[in-house]
Chains A and B, each alone.
Chain A
Amino acid sequence: MSTCPEAFSLHAELAAVQVILADLQRRWPDDIALEPERKSDYYKLPYLFREAFPALAGPELRPLAVFCKLYAGSILLHDQIIDGGLVDGANRSAITTSSLRLMAMHAEAYHQLHTLFPAGAAFWDRLRSYVAAYTDACLAEKRFAAGDRPWPEYTEAEALRIVIGKNGPARIIAAAMVELARDERMLEPLLDVTNAFNVATQMWDDLQDWKEDLRQGTPTLLLARLIPERPAGLDGKAGPDLVKQLARELYYGGHARHVLELVLTALDQAEQLQHAIPDLGLYAVTATLRRKCEALYVDIERIVRANVQRARDQPRLALVAAGAGAAGHDLVSGALRYLETQWNAGFGEARDLIQYPEELGFAPAETCHFGDVFQRALVTDTLCDADAVLDGRLQPIIEREASYLVSQRAVSATGGWCYYADLPELPPDADDLAQVMQVLIRAGRRDEVARHGEPALAVLLRDNCHPDGSFETWIVPASGRRTPLEERHAKLVERVWGVGPDCDVIPNLLYALHLYDAARFADPIRDGARYLEAQQRADGTWTSQWYAGPYYAIYVCLRMFDAVAPASPAVARALRALRDTQRSDGGWGLEGAASDPLATALALLGLAAGQRACADHADPSRAARGIEYLRRTMESDGGWPSHALIFKGFGAFHGSRTLTTAFALKAALAWQDRRAGASIAVAS
């Protein structure tokens, strides 16, 4: 045992462990890989306990770290085998290889321990007892999974007994370090800590994987609370509905919350040594898990309470389709039925969620931000279209949605609306402003555009416009006019959100300005339209920064040109782009991908917007084929699948079934005979 610990570098130690593993690997056939496939912080466990044994130097722990990686990796592999993950008709030889890998990993793992501990060391008895407890726990778990023991016997106490039994590997590490350091005092405290930590991670894992556990019939504390017996019928037609039902019970029955409380209680116990060993490496891991659990707990509570309140307070809408069978009618009534369901549920499906990396300096990485302003404004715009066909019977929804949008405005001198209303670092933007303005205008609330939209509009047109007629997406006052938060906005626009005008945002606001007051805003509308004409590519499309594929930008540009400059040559070019890219199945799709209902709906909307200026005799037939594609791809609940639409940054896009359905409905209404709408009845 070293008496003068060297400076410790975890990175250097892990690299040294890999060198040892690579050397061991050379002694085995190529197919017998010693390196585990799965990553896990577990492999660093000796280093996470290091501060409890300050006399142990890093190099002394290397054989233990090698053991840990091999042994823990073998357990993960073993789990794959016994859970049947490798049983595949086409790949049964994987079981043979995996079994042989287990033998190799165990042989090398125990060899590492033999270099550390002589045959008579107390450690070996402890290792045996921990491995035996592990096997006993696994067998107990399997008896429940196989139905040999009834699920009602899977009590919380039994679940925790099994979890602690399965903590064998961590107990082995604790016992090994106690033996190496010859410090028996740390054994029981470390065992308590690792047992508690294992409970925390297992409960967290049970929540994450509850659907997979349900499918496999694996009992967990969470599932035993949800269902009284081993699940049956999941593979049948009723399976998805059963899972949905259980999901509701999981959240609204308080079971998710209960499990998170168990995690946090276990973490409290795991952190019991913090006063004595504040720098224990494990506590960085427990702190991270704690933050994630707490953030999730808070959000689940908030969402559940908001949904319960809404179900109690919001009048339910019921659309009843009458006279079904009219051409196009089933598509419209189906889509309306789907949107009705989503409205009754509070549009949770459409809500966008994001977590930003901590390096950006926002809230802690676990904080989740929610955004639904833009989405609900898009949906409400479609409902305004439908309302015109339904003779005003959707007004109650439109009114409530308009009020909601107003409530989500940015509370600052600049005002406007932000894509994530709960993210202070995000400035208001021209796209949200445009979309909300359109809804408020169509809902007869121009006064609220004046009150809540004009300040942001004023900043945009004064400080964010360019001589070429374009304007920025982000609404940030000029330097010298900013609040401290707006200074932060300006820096983040440079560093994160992005500067420059966007051809898929400008037309949306120009259209809103046209609806709002075409005469007053004639100059920016004219200049903006000219900018977009100049930006149009040779193939008739525009660069899209914020939307997946070309069709959204084409649609909003064509809609704008139809309103403000129908004679623009850009119209014919854009229409040609739409006509030329329709596929043989009647749909449209992104490059390299199959046709999809979202691209199809957007293309149909673009085609409709260009009819006044530049109709082609074949357009009705094109539209009919596109509508037929939408009808074929509509799902049984009246909605369409989610497809990527809005770019969120970090390479991710947001999409939802609600948005696809809203655009599909808008497209169908744009092309449908208005007479069909009279047969849809509305009740509330």
Chain B
Amino acid sequence: MNKKYDLEIESLNLDQLDVEELEHRLEMAVANAAPVICYSNSSCDTKSVVNPG
């Protein structure tokens, strides 16, 4: 992990940092991922291919 990056975070209150956009971005990646090969995890669901969401 980038050391400079760590020090910046350490001096901040994590509660101040937004996660909504990050979570939304991850949801976009999930929603638009083709159902690749996910046989080994039962919680892997089929998602729609085109979902600007």
What residues make up the interface of A, taking CB atoms closer than 8 Å to B? Answer: 38-42, 45, 72, 75-76, 79-80, 83, 85, 163, 166-167, 169-170, 197-198, 201-202, 204-209, 212-213, 216, 218, 244-245, 247-249, 251-254, 256-258, 285, 288-289, 292, 295-296, 299-300, 303-305, 307-308, 311-312, 316, 344-346, 348-349, 351, 353-357, 365-366, 368, 648-650, 652
Bound-state CA distance A166–B37 (Å) is 12
A308 touches B25 (CB 8 A): no
Nearest-neighbor residue (CB-CB) of B51 within chain A: A652
Within 8 Å by CB of A652, from B35, B43, B52, lies B52
Please determine whether A247 and B22 come into contact, CB atoms closer than 8 angstroms: yes
Q: Compute how far the CA of A421 lies from the CA of B13 in the bound complex, rounded to whole angstroms.
A: 30
B23 neighbours in A (Cβ, 8 Å): 247
A247 near B19: Cβ-Cβ < 8 Å:
yes
Q: Are B36 and A76 in contact (CB under 8 A)?
A: no
Q: Is the interface of A mostly helix, strand, loop or mixed?
A: helix
The reply to whether A42 and B21 form a contact with Cβ atoms under 8 Å apart is no
Residues in chain B near residue A292, CB distance under 8 A: 29, 32-33
Is B18's CB under 8 angstroms from A307's CB?
A: yes
If A288-B34, A308-B9 touch, whether A248 touches B14 (CB-CB below 8 Å) is yes
Beta-carbon contacts of B1-37 to A below 8 Å, as 1s and 0s?
Answer: 1100110110111111111111111101110111111
Min CB distance B38 to A, Å, is 5
Count how many chain B residues have C-beta atoms less than 8 Å from C-beta atoms of the other chain. Answer: 44
Alpha-carbon gap, A295 to B25, bound state (A): 10
CA separation between A344 and B18, bound complex, in Å? 9
Q: Shortest distance in angstroms between A645's beta carbon and chain B's nearest beta carbon?
A: 14
- Is A649 within 8 A of B35, CB to CB? no
Contact of B17 among A208, A307, A351, A652 (CB under 8 A): A307
Q: Which of A218, A299, A356 contacts B52 (CB 8 A)?
A: A356
Beta-carbon nearest neighbor of A247 in chain B: B19
Report yes or no: A209 in contact with B44, Cβ–Cβ below 8 A: yes
11 pairs, A vs B, C-beta closer than 8 Å: A38-B46, A42-B39, A201-B36, A249-B14, A285-B36, A285-B37, A308-B8, A344-B16, A354-B53, A356-B52, A650-B50
Q: How far is the CB of B28 from chain A (nearest CB, A)?
A: 5
Please give the distance in Å from B25's CB to the nearest CB on chain A: 5
- Knowing A251-B22, A368-B28, the reply to whether A311 touches B17 (Cβ < 8 A) is yes
Is the beta-carbon distance between A312 and B8 smaller than 8 angstroms?
A: yes
When C-beta atoms are compared, the residue in chain B nearest to A286 turns out to be B36
Nearest CB of chain B from residue A679's CB, rounded to whole Å: 27
Asked if B1 and A648 sit within 8 Å, CB to CB, the answer is no
Return chain A residues, CB-CB under 8 Å to B20: 345, 348-349
